[in-house]
Structure 1
């Protein structure tokens, strides 16, 4: 199985500097452009199925890819962003003012009441891997999700249930792509790349060159 993890395009929540979690924000104008660029990236790649978080910023991004590939988007709530409860809709500064203890921890696993727990996140990751292995062992699959959850899922693929005990080094940009493969007859995955955004860099260079003409 080849698995492509894609973060959604820039959302209006990103623009406003809000911690989003499960709070729904649509794509910004730039985010819609980014979605078209990542869809173009997938144009020549084999893809059999597309799954998406049911939050609008992810599903809008997934629809752009699906349109280019003539596929349907299957919404899957299990790949939503981390549920951040009382943090959702606040800026980081507002969170640290209201919850000072969170400043010394990662927001994603702060342990603050009302946020998704490490145990709940671990069970989500377990379930996703199990379902993918059952249904798509020989397929090429894209999942459009969110930066926080993708970074945790990658850690789970590396360290299993102990993912939370290790430093989480991944930076996951808007519409970045991470490619993981489970080769036939091998239990453990291999990582081809993480956080690839060359589709955005190429476009930025083209726009810059056009302004110079």
Structure 2
């Protein structure tokens, strides 16, 4: 499996002071340009599975990838995973004294989002869409308390194992897509991607030396029986310099 870890485009929260942030922001005008560049670059890939967090900023980044698909979009099957959200979950407030759980988008809201994308291309078969069963009408977060750091670490471990078990070639199991080495793309968030990388590359890469993860940057890893191998880190070659953001501080 080749796994591409992609941070979402610049969100409105990335461009605001902490005290003005909201629980589930859209991407900014600059973020839409970033996502457009990302979508154009990814149109040249034969993607076997596209996975996204249920946050609005990751869905909007995913939209640009689907809009730029030149081949039949069935090569871009989409899954919305409930467990690849950003550190903390979906919540209101900016300080531990005023944190309050938010609901997050519901299953029907996410389905409508992708239906609107499909409606833009009536001559195309819409890509298959799968939502984790944990995402229901109460919202994917459901108003829970803010996630603790140790909970994110455990969740990251579970997500890594989920990738390994879902997309590795197993005896008697058909490979994903036409390739035995499927290309899988995850659109997620800076802090969560950093936690994933720290666990996947533990003992081999010093995370303190990696630096921030820019918006729409692409990190590529290869999975085999010997474990994870880093093949590229935080690439932003698809972006002009004026569109590179998130490289000076770690923001969600």
TM-score category, normalised to shorter length: 0.7 to 0.9
Indicate which of 112, 124, 127 corresponds to 2:155: 124
Q: Does 1:73 align with 2:81?
A: no
Indicate which of 192, 197, 201 corresponds to 1:154: 197
Indicate which of 189, 199, 211 corresponds to 2:238: 199
The gaps in structure 2 that reach 5 residues or longer are: 98-144, 169-180, 244-252
Please give the alpha-carbon distance, in whole angstroms, between the structure 2 residues aligned to 1:41 and 1:26.
Answer: 22
Please give the alpha-carbon distance, in whole angstroms, between the structure 2 residues aligned to 1:80 and 1:29.
Answer: 22
How far is the alpha carbon of 1:19 from its aligned partner?
7.7
How far is the alpha carbon of 1:115 from its aligned partner?
4.7
Please give the alpha-carbon distance, in whole angstroms, between the structure 1 residues aligned to 2:22 and 2:84.
Answer: 11
CA deviations on 1:31-74 (whole Å, 9 max, x unpaired) are: 11111101111121221000001000011101211332322431
Please give the alpha-carbon distance, in whole angstroms, between the structure 1 residues aligned to 2:200 and 2:41.
Answer: 25
- Alpha-carbon spacing, 1:141–1:171, altered in 2? closer, same or farther (3 Å): same
Q: Secondary structure at the match of 1:143?
A: strand
Please give the alpha-carbon distance, in whole angstroms, between the structure 1 residues aligned to 2:48 and 2:22.
Answer: 27
The gaps in structure 1 that reach 5 residues or longer are: 99-113, 205-213
Taking only aligned residues, the RMSD between alpha carbons, in angstroms, comes to 3.1
Q: 6-15 or 76-85, which moves further after superposition?
A: 76-85
1:44 corresponding residue in structure 2: 44
Query: Residues 22 and 93 of structure 2 are in contact (CA less than 8 Å); yes or no, is this contact kept in structure 1?
Result: no
Matched residue pairs, number? 179
Bigger proportion of residues as helix: 1
- Alpha-carbon spacing, 1:172–1:89, altered in 2? closer, same or farther (3 Å): farther
- Alpha-carbon spacing, 1:140–1:19, altered in 2? closer, same or farther (3 Å): farther
Q: TM-score, normalised by structure 1?
A: 0.72
Q: Secondary structure at the match of 1:142?
A: strand
Q: TM-score, normalised by structure 2?
A: 0.62
Q: Does 1:189 align with 2:228?
A: yes
Query: Residues 35 and 216 of structure 2 are in contact (CA less than 8 Å); yes or no, is this contact kept in structure 1?
Result: yes
What is the correspondence of 1:169-184 to structure 2 with a 5 Å cutoff?
169-183=210-224
Query: Residues 221 and 231 of structure 2 are in contact (CA less than 8 Å); yes or no, is this contact kept in structure 1?
Result: yes
